[in-house]
């Protein structure tokens, strides 16, 4: 299935479409640790499937859906028999839709959607994946537009499910909508400005909440603290820079928003379980 691999970087061949690649995969084959620019959506249709993403193991049953974000190192393994959808869409065409970009950020690096953890949307997303498979296989006029429309619907469902199930303490639907919009905006702002000197006080002011109220609500909305979220974005930025061997590790640290090399190395190892130098060597092998 991996057609072009340089070190651990896969180049996805979109073929007849501008930004879509889908495999109706029956192969009994394991795929080594690799990464690629397009995100990846996996859904077993027959038998189980296994994935390791950023050192986290996922056992996928029939109908479970795993979304792997862009640039995430992952490995896949299959049973002796089975069938699964492996869908690799180029999300760049949709990045200007701010709500979708924010949803992708919140679910980074992966999102597992099962009947147990997402009962209100799992069946709908499962059906969308089957419709995407049918469209891709049929190759009818406007198939690409149809597939992207279904992909947008898929992420709208996920985004709304996140806001509806967030633990922000309010029973007022209108207030919950306002809170959700504020924190989606904050996540997008952090994404765009993570390499700058962002402070908790400054970002809290953007929402109009006190620092202490913001800290509590942000964690309830995203599941992690403000500084952990910020550092994850900075490390993601650093990963993209480390791929270029002409940029020193010190320069990567500075351009990723860290005030010292030691702080950068410490945070990188905490999040990626390896040093920046070790990470760079993986990409050059």
Each residue's pLDDT tens digit, 210-223:
999 999 988 888 87
Domain termination site, one of 184, 204, 223: 223
Mean pLDDT across the chain, nearest whole number?
Answer: 87
The last residue of a domain, from among 223, 248, 265: 223
Q: Please state, in angstroms and rounded to a whole number, the distance separating the CA atoms of residues 179 and 125.
A: 25
Write down the pTM of the prediction.
0.75
Indicate whether 219 and 253 sit together in one domain. no
Instruction: Measure the CA angle with vertex 139, ends 47 and 78; round to 5°.
Output: 20
CATH number of residue 234's parent domain = 1.10.10.60
Look up residue 36 and give its two tokens. Answer: 């690629």
pLDDT in tens, 114-163: 999 999 999 999 999 999 999 999 988 999 999 999 999 999 999 888 77
Q: Residue 99 carries which DSSP code?
A: H
184: containing domain = 173-223
Give how many domains the chain has, as a whole number.
3
Share of the chain above pLDDT 70, in %: 91
Q: Model confidence over 12-22: pLDDT tens digits?
A: 888 665 689 99
Can you give the pLDDT at residue 17?
59
103 shares a domain with 191: no
Strands (E), the chain: 5-6, 9-10, 20-25, 31-34, 40-46, 49-53, 56-60, 65-68, 74-77, 83-89, 110-113
């Amino acid at each position: 299935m991996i057609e072009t691999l340089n070190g651990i970087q896969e180049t996805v061949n979109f073929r007849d479409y501008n930004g879509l690649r889908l495999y109706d995969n029956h192969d009994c084959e394991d795929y080594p640790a690799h990464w690629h620019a397009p995100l990846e959506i996996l859904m077993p249709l027959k038998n189980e499937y296994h994935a390791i993403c950023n050192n986290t193991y996922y056992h996928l049953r029939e109908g479970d859906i795993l979304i792997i974000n862009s640039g995430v190192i992952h490995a896949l393994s299959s049973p002796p028999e089975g069938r699964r959808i492996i869908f690799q869409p180029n999300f760049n065409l949709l990045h200007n839709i701010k709500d979708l970009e924010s949803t992708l950020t919140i679910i980074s690096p992966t999102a597992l959607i099962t009947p147990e953890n997402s009962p209100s949307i799992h069946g709908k997303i499962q059906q969308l994946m089957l419709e995407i498979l049918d469209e891709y296989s049929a190759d009818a006029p406007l198939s690409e537009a149809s597939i992207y429309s279904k992909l947008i619907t898929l992420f709208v469902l996920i985004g709304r499910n996140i806001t509806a199930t967030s633990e922000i303490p309010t029973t007022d639907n209108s207030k919950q909508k306002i809170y959700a919009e504020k924190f989606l905006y904050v996540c997008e702002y952090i994404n765009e400005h993570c390499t700058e000197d962002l402070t908790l006080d400054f970002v809290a002011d953007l929402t109009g909440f006190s620092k202490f109220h913001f800290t509590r609500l942000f964690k309830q909305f995203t599941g992690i603290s403000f500084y952990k979220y910020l550092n994850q974005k900075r490390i993601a930025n650093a990963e993209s820079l480390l791929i270029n061997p002409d940029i020193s590790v010190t320069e990567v640290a500075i351009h990723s928003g860290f005030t010292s090399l030691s702080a950068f190395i410490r945070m990188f190892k905490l999040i990626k379980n390896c040093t920046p130098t070790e990470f760079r060597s993986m990409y050059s092998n």
